[in-house]
Structure 1
Amino acid sequence: MAGFFVARFVLGMTESGLFPGVVFYLSLWYKREERQYRISLFFSAASLAGAFGGVLAWGIAHMNGVGGLHGWRWIFILEGILTVLVSLSAYFFITNYPSTAKFLTEKERACIQARLESNSDATRDEAFTWTNVSFAIRDPKVWLYGLGFHTMSLPLYTLSLFLPTIIKELGYTAAQAQLLTVPPYAVATLLTIAVAVASEKLKRRALFIMGSSSLAAIGYIILLSCTKPGVAYFGTILAAAGIYPATAIVLSWPANNVSGQTKRATANAMQISIGNLGAVLGTQLYRSTDGPRYFLGHGFALGYLCANVLVVGTLWTVLKRENARRDRGERNERLVGVGEEEWLGDDDPRWRFQT
């Protein structure tokens, strides 16, 4: 048990910088209106992995006894080897910035720089300062972004962790449960991409998050109220179909709205950290004695999804009001003594937030 906890701690520690790092990294390569779709593509890989994971787990479990090891050990070994191989190859083809990318020509680098300069701070040579870190910590909007993910993380992580168990408790065998995790994740993958495209085209974030969270809430209402396995299973599909698109947009929102490289990097990290506290709580909610309806776990997930609608609605209102004030020129005093080429980050009256 001690070895298990040490291994799990190290895994969490090394994994912690991945998502905020990827979100920040993509913000250095794409314009504001292009980031959400890319981040959603990246996040959709999580639901796609869930779809393939069920099939792989079902297949690899048949290796039980090979090499004197249980089937579940082989799942960790084989999928872990793939992760290591991808990470080693990624080191050689991931480039920090467009300006230093060796696979680009000078003309291509100049083109990317010109695109980014038009509406992004990605090309600015910004030195790290603790003052810029404090800007993120003192910005109430950053905390609201964090709460937006916090209220999604509990249903997100509990669904991904306990979906096979939930399905098994509906009356299916363990092998069937692994295979039946595929449709919810497949639907979630398709909807994550479709909702991201629609959100990007219409330039609306909050409405799509609130709509997706409401869809997931309907799924949990079905799970809480229905005892028929087929109908309850449909509830898991609705839950996944709402949770993943909403989470993808929530995670890309600060990448679009927070300006200043250090402030944005800090905001991304804060959002993931605040959000993961929901996952800590979520792991304690699904107890073996509570199946098959899991009133405690499903009830918490439903409550969190309702809270997400309230948090996102509040943030939407805050951003719209701030944009309106800037349109009326009420923030122009901040530009006094500021040169035309100087930039005040998202405090600059010329900046408009995406709502």
Structure 2
Amino acid sequence: MSSPANTEKPTLVAVKGEGPVEEKQNASSVVSDDSFANPTGINEKALVRKLDRRLLPPLTLLYLLSFLDRSNIGNAKLDGLTTDLHITGNQYLMTLTIYFIGYVLFEVPCNIILKRTTPKLWLPTLMFLWGTVATLMGVSQNFAGFLAARFFLGVTESGLFPGVVFYLSMWYKRTETHYRVALFFSAASLAGAFGGILAYGIGFMVGVGGLKGWRWIFILEGLLTVIISVIAYFFIHNYPATAPFLRDDERAFIHARLKDDSDATNTEEFAWTNVFSAFKDYKCYLYGLGFHTMSLPLYTLSLFLPTIIAKLGYTAAQAQLLTVPPYAVATILTVIVAVLAEKTQRRAPFLIGSSSLAIIGYIILLTAPSKKPGVSYFGTILAAAGIYPSCAIVLSWPTANVSGQSKRATATAMTITVGNLGAVIGTQLYRPNTSPRWYLGHSFALGYLVANILVAVTLWVCLTRENAKKRARVAGGEVVDGPIKDDEDIRLLFQT
């Protein structure tokens, strides 16, 4: 869409070996990673580090607690959840599925509400609501009550991740978003590691207050979320124009550096036409398909890993602790891949490489001798190490490519909505009668990872062709007068 805040006439120029970018006729106004017309003497890198310090830790904490509250059911199962509530194997799978049904149904509406309200109000409110629901799971007395709690946990958590991904796109340049989204998403793997440690410790609270250990897992972790949500109203900020930790010259600097890079500084009134434009863009569906092919292995691993490890022959307590190393390795690799992708300004090659690593992990799980549990355990480490970096890439892709604030918010929610349909399927695959080899679940995860590579290659080809068309237009001497109407097509340089 056109940018009402930008009335200068841009000229398209070719960048050798890369693709077209937008260059203003007034060269002094161009913001790059290396230079900036900056009479105030503000250090751009230092300012970006300041943003990282103020924005990323609280947002990462929110997502860590979110992922902990959704995945701790796997730890609670080992501590007697299904036995005490008389939940059968298939009923347990339904409690996993119902969460994602609520999540999928409310992702797009939640991001629309975010756009129409403010992050400072909406994100902590969501957190307070899901923390309350998570706590209530610990006092459920039967299958029906627990099932209802899981559904509303999905509803209340649905707005966090797509909301934060959109929120970060309003602070950082497109070339900077993947690294920040990856750091934020690394909280998912950290949650897995902390979840195992916490579950191991909380397991010793059996009988405290007359409650079983699995109940304390939900109650304590849910109450922690509620407490942090109240504090979050004070440390979550809106957008650069009103952030209290920035000086006026810093706000102006951020506005200027984003102005040449994206539409984040535009004043865009909400309009349904901008929402619908996301549904008409084929690339938005490819982004969604990219996450769809990752969400099934992501959530089947995070929800069933304690059970998978326990079925290798380890005790429940040992299995809780053995979930930590796979997630620790995944966290480290997620950050490393994010740094490399940001430096090379490429996504597809790293996505293909990470997914290939996860494929090796599942091949090991499917073929390892049953008498060698250590080999299968090594497969879980490789699976986690490949899945989490890939998820960070596919989730950050639309934030860098889709123009228009409402369209980008919708496209981000679409990506996660379409993606989590894979999770809905995945929750039904690790059925009790397939234990302990789990051929059905592991095979589906393997097939989805192969499909993810195919989607990545398709996106890579499509975006490269669009870049080539833009380079051809520039080589032909084309000059675009007035505001760029579809700058997502102009700005394909960093998409692949």
Shorter-chain TM-score above 0.5 = yes
* Counterpart residue identity of residue 260, structure 1: G
* Counterpart residue identity of residue 104, structure 1: L
Asked if 1:133 corresponds to 2:309, the answer is no
Asked if 1:237 corresponds to 2:381, the answer is yes
Asked if 1:344 corresponds to 2:490, the answer is no
Q: Who is 2:169 aligned against?
A: 27
Cα separation, 2, equivalents of 1:334 and 1:260: 24
Asked if 1:17 corresponds to 2:162, the answer is no
Note the C-alpha offset of 1:6. Answer: 1.7
Matches within 5 A, 1:86-105: 86-105=228-247
Cα separation, 1, equivalents of 2:316 and 2:378: 18
* Counterpart residue identity of residue 230, structure 1: G
Percent identity (aligned): 70
Q: Who is 1:326 aligned against?
A: 470
Note the C-alpha offset of 1:126. Answer: 1.1
Q: Who is 1:251 aligned against?
A: 395
Q: TM-score, normalization: structure 2?
A: 0.69
Could you say what secondary structure the match of 1:99 adopts?
coil
Change (3 A) 1:335 1:87: farther
Q: Who is 2:461 aligned against?
A: 317
Note the C-alpha offset of 1:4. Answer: 1.3
Note the C-alpha offset of 1:118. Answer: 2.4
Which sits farther off after the overlay, 102-111 or 228-237? 102-111
Matches within 5 A, 1:28-43: 28-43=170-185
Cα separation, 2, equivalents of 1:241 and 1:69: 36
Residue-by-residue CA offset, 1:210-247 (whole Å, 9 max, x unaligned): 11001000000000001210000000000000000000
Cα separation, 2, equivalents of 1:350 and 1:239: 34
Find the partner of 1:292 among 406, 418, 436.
436
Alignment check: 8 A CA contact 1:208 1:246 kept = yes
Residue-by-residue CA offset, 1:234-262 (whole Å, 9 max, x unaligned): 00000000000000011001011111111
Q: Who is 1:162 aligned against?
A: 304
Alignment check: 8 A CA contact 2:289 2:415 kept = yes
Residue-by-residue CA offset, 1:270-326 (whole Å, 9 max, x unaligned): 001000100001010001221221000000000000000001110110000001101
Q: Which has the larger share of helix? A: 1
Cα separation, 2, equivalents of 1:346 and 1:142: 15
CA RMSD of aligned residues (A): 1.7
Note the C-alpha offset of 1:54. Answer: 0.2
Cα separation, 1, equivalents of 2:443 and 2:348: 24
Change (3 A) 1:223 1:348: closer
Cα separation, 1, equivalents of 2:149 and 2:220: 17
Asked if 1:183 corresponds to 2:325, the answer is yes
Find the partner of 1:281 among 404, 407, 425.
425
The runs of 5 or more residues in structure 1 that have no matched partner are none
Matches within 5 A, 1:107-118: 107-118=249-260
Could you say what secondary structure the match of 1:328 adopts?
helix
Change (3 A) 1:49 1:214: same
Residue-by-residue CA offset, 1:82-123 (whole Å, 9 max, x unaligned): 111222211222121100112211111111111211212110
Cα separation, 2, equivalents of 1:348 and 1:210: 23
Q: How many residues align?
A: 352
Asked if 1:80 corresponds to 2:222, the answer is yes
Residue-by-residue CA offset, 1:166-203 (whole Å, 9 max, x unaligned): 00111111110000000000000000000000011011
Cα separation, 1, equivalents of 2:297 and 2:149: 25
Alignment check: 8 A CA contact 2:175 2:494 kept = no
Find the partner of 2:452 among 308, 313, 316.
308
* Counterpart residue identity of residue 176, structure 2: E
Alignment check: 8 A CA contact 2:463 2:492 kept = no
Q: Who is 2:190 aligned against?
A: 48
Q: TM-score, normalization: structure 1?
A: 0.96
Alignment check: 8 A CA contact 1:258 1:345 kept = no
Could you say what secondary structure the match of 1:29 adopts?
coil
Question: Which ranges of 4 or more aligned residues in structure 1 deviate by more than 3 Å?
Answer: 330-336, 345-353
Cα separation, 1, equivalents of 2:348 and 2:407: 22
The runs of 5 or more residues in structure 2 that have no matched partner are 1-142
Matches within 5 A, 1:194-273: 194-226=336-368, 227=370, 228-273=372-417
Could you say what secondary structure the match of 1:122 adopts?
coil
